[in-house]
């Protein structure tokens, strides 16, 4: 009985993985195909940023909260996965980050020195902007079900970071990505990125856990030359 259950679970997992690969290939075709995407030399995205925070104060049994909102903008340019630059300005503060194939850097207007490291690709929550990165990201995903988003029937692809990947990011305890791809068009409709992060408490005698969730809604696509690319979207954290 145990051997049968183990064999069944293995078969189910392989089925979920092969279904996901088929869905990813449909997404690639909907974006114009591998040849069309390889012909793109560079991509640029511009948009607005809205950052909201809440101050919460507890008085007795009552909790009072006050919302603050700041508006800004960003510009993102990418030539290939390891050659990109991002500039973001919000609330009078500017953040610049990029990678030139040799080194990656990031710097804020409050710091005179840039932090540097090895070249890397864009963070995952930006990768939905680039069909090539999105395709590579979900190649090892599994299909975990279906969901209707804004009257659009979607397949759900799920990707969880492996233990080896979590070892590289020592502060991450768990990292899950969900992609919702339209059954009608094959395009990516929604992208969710959730991390559970472990940090040392200010006193250093215990750990503090933070859950960080980001959700991107891909609202409109346009055909540019021979490729279909995202032109309107919204990201919230």
CA atoms of 53 and 56, how far apart (whole Å)? 10
Specify the higher pLDDT residue, 218 or 164: 218
Of the CA atoms within 13 Å of residue 224, those in its CB half-sphere come to 13
Domain residue extents for the chain: 2-40+124-236
Residue 87 · residue 94 · CB < 8 Å: yes
Residue 128 CB neighbours (<10 A): 23
Predicted pLDDT of residue 9: 40
pLDDT band at 48 (very low <50, low <70, confident <90, very high): confident
Residue 24 CB neighbours (<10 A): 24
Is residue 65 packed enough to be buried (19+ CB in 10 Å), middle (13-18) or exposed (0-12)? exposed
Continuous segment of H or E residues that includes residue 92: none
Digit-coded pLDDT (tens) for 131-187 = 888 888 898 899 999 999 888 999 999 988 765 555 555 566 778 889 999 999 999
Residue 23 has pLDDT above 50, yes or no: yes
- The SS3 assignment for 15 reads helix
Continuous segment of H or E residues that includes residue 132: helix 131-138
Predicted pLDDT of residue 51: 73
């Amino acid at each position: 009985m145990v051997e049968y259950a183990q064999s069944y679970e293995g078969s189910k997992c392989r089925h979920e993985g092969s279904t996901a690969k088929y869905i990813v290939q449909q997404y690639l075709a909907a974006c114009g195909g591998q040849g069309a995407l390889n012909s793109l030399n560079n991509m640029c995205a511009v948009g607005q940023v809205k950052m909201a925070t809440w101050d919460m104060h507890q008085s007795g049994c009552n909790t009072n909260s006050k919302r603050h909102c700041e508006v800004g903008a960003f510009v993102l340019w990418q030539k290939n996965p390891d050659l990109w630059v991002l500039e973001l300005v919000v609330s009078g503060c500017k953040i610049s980050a990029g990678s030139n194939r040799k080194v990656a850097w990031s710097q804020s207007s409050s710091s005179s020195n840039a932090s540097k490291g090895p070249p890397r690709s864009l963070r995952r929550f930006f990768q939905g902007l680039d069909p090539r990165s999105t395709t590579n990201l979900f190649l090892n995903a599994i299909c975990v079900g279906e969901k209707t988003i804004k009257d659009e029937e979607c397949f759900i692809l799920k990707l969880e970071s492996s233990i080896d990947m979590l070892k590289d990011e020592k502060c991450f305890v768990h990292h899950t990505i969900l992609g919702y791809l339209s059954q009608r068009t094959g395009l990516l409709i929604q992208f969710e990125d959730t991390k559970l992060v472990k940090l040392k408490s200010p006193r250093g005698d215990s750990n503090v856990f933070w859950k960080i969730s980001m959700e991107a809604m891909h609202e409109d696509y346009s055909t540019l030359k021979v490729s279909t690319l995202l032109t309107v979207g919204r990201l919230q954290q």
